[in-house]
């Protein structure tokens, strides 16, 4: 597989897995379950700008770029430590082929914590959005690079209609504009190029000025230390999403260092 095929491959796999789940759990059933749940937690309030940086702490077992990171046999235990450590929200990777995540992880975490939970996956279909809400998600990741504009708008509207928040992920000035055009209230800038998996730690700083003040900005990837969090914060990030640095170290200690920035 060529490096420029990574995102295409991840999206294709997520669609195939979604189609397989739909065979045993049709859309009507998932939609019914989604609508029967209590209202989603208010992610916009949880991530609203404040004097100190907010952290979205991620549950992540492996990545395509680094391979296995942590076994995480009990995601609930990790999620509770994140909450205790001061995380404002928790991201749960539910993609199974490359990240070893499951929707069951998301459900278990949501039932255990009181802060908002993000479904992080390669979402391109309405089925996956209803599936996210039915599993307990309060937020859903939308990757601009994986969607045409009409689908981005459609999924963003659906997410908000179900009471959730959409974290709209971008990698360029053009993608930031597309996110703004769809009405995004949470815009993430991912330092990792999902086509090549290369990192650009200064991408957030270059794009932050194109995002209006009323939009919550989230810096993603390339966080190894408190200095990296400080770099994002000084560049204007309201929130920093951290995964690998937490699951490969002492999550409680790491969180305290990040939040002290």
- Model pLDDT for residues 117-170, shown as the tens digit of each residue: 999 999 999 999 999 999 999 999 999 999 999 999 999 999 999 999 999 999
Please state, in angstroms and rounded to a whole number, the distance separating the CA atoms of residues 119 and 90.
Answer: 9
Apex 42 CA angle, 40 and 47, nearest 5: 140
When computed from its CA atoms, the radius of gyration of the chain, rounded to whole angstroms, is 17
Q: Is 149 exposed, middle or buried (0-12, 13-18, 19+ CB in 10 A)?
A: exposed
- Model pLDDT for residues 229-259, shown as the tens digit of each residue: 999 999 999 999 998 899 988 888 999 999 9
Short-list 170, 160, 169, 124, CA closest to 139: 160
Provide the pLDDT for residue 195: 72
**Which run of H or E residues covers position 36?**
helix 27-36
Q: Structure pTM?
A: 0.95
Short-list 128, 103, 134, 166, CA closest to 19: 128
Query: How much of the chain, in percent, has pLDDT values that exceed 90?
Result: 87
Average pLDDT over residues 11-32: 97
- Model pLDDT for residues 92-124, shown as the tens digit of each residue: 999 999 999 999 999 999 999 999 999 999 999
Could you tell me the pLDDT band of residue 87, with boundaries at 50, 70 and 90?
A: very high
* Mean pLDDT over each residue of the chain, to the nearest integer: 94
Torsion, Cα 247 250 255 257, to 10 degrees, reads -130
Please state, in angstroms and rounded to a whole number, the distance separating the CA atoms of residues 21 and 84.
Answer: 34
Residue carrying structure tokens 């998932």: 30
Provide the pLDDT for residue 50: 95
pLDDT at 3 over 80: no
DSSP state of 144: G
Provide the pLDDT for residue 249: 81
DSSP for 162-215, please give it: TT-EEEEEESSHHHHHHHHHTT-SEEEEESB-TTT--B-TTHHHHHHTTS-TTS
Beta bridge partners of 217: 187
Query: How much of the chain, in percent, has pLDDT values that exceed 70?
Result: 98
Provide the pLDDT for residue 223: 92
Provide the pLDDT for residue 188: 98
pLDDT at 28 over 70: yes
From 29-38, 78-87, 170-179, 195-204, the region with the lowest mean pLDDT: 195-204
**Which run of H or E residues covers position 9?**
helix 6-24
Would you give the end-to-end CA distance of the chain in angstroms? 40
Strands (DSSP E) along 67-171, which ranges?
67-68, 89-93, 117-120, 139-143, 165-170
- Model pLDDT for residues 169-206, shown as the tens digit of each residue: 999 999 999 999 999 999 999 998 777 778 899 999 99
* Cβ count within 10 A of residue 223: 24
pLDDT at 2 over 70: no
Query: Within 13 A of 118's CA, how many CA atoms are on the CB side?
Result: 32
């Amino acid at each position: 597989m060529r490096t420029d095929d990574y995102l295409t491959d991840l999206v294709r796999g997520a669609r195939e897995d979604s189609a397989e789940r739909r065979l045993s759990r049709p859309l009507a059933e998932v939609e019914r379950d989604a609508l029967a749940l209590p209202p989603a937690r208010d992610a916009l309030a949880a991530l609203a700008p404040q004097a100190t940086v907010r952290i979205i702490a991620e549950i992540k077992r492996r990545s395509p770029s680094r391979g296995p990171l942590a076994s995480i046999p009990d995601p609930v235990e990790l999620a509770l430590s994140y909450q205790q450590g001061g995380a404002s929200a928790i991201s749960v990777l539910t993609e199974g082929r490359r990240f070893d995540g499951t929707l069951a992880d998301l459900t278990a975490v949501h039932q255990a914590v009181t802060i908002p939970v993000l479904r992080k996956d390669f979402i391109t279909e309405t089925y996956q959005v209803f599936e996210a809400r039915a599993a307990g998600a309060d937020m859903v990741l939308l990757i601009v690079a994986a969607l045409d504009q009409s689908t981005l708008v459609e999924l963003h509207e659906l997410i908000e209609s179900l009471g959730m928040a959409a974290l709209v992920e971008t990698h360029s000035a053009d993608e930031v504009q597309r996110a703004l055009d769809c009405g995004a209230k949470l815009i993430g800038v991912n330092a990792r190029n999902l086509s090549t998996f290369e990192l650009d730690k200064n991408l957030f700083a270059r794009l932050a000025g194109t995002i209006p003040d009323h939009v919550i900005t989230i810096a993603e990837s390339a966080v190894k230390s408190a200095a990296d969090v400080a770099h994002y914060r000084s560049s204007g990030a309201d929130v920093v999403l951290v995964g690998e640095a937490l699951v490969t170290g002492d999550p409680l200690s790491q969180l305290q260092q990040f939040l002290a920035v």
